[in-house]
Amino acid sequence: MLNPPAPPPVKPAGAAVDAAPGHRAEAVQAVQAIKSEALFRGAAELQIEHRGSLYRLRQTALGKLILTK
């Protein structure tokens, strides 16, 4: 199977939180958000290889996502 082109970059969600005076602020690591349309690109199903295992991610008729091994 050919590798599909990478989806366009998405701005990361999240930001550092300001701490109250006298308290240390904890750094918040941003979590990347990717639109499902960018992953599926019109398909109803895709395969994800993760740590040597192959998973199926599919969309239902109601728009839900199902991940199976």
pLDDT value of position 65: 97
Q: What is the CATH number of the domain that holds 40?
A: 2.10.70.10
- How many domains in the chain? 1
Is 50 part of any domain?
yes
Structural domain containing residue 57: 36-68
Could you read off the pLDDT tens digit of each residue along the chain, which spans 69 residues?
A: 556 666 666 555 554 555 566 666 667 788 999 999 999 999 999 999 999 999 999 999 999 999 999
E strand or H helix at 61, and its extent?
none
pLDDT value of position 52: 96
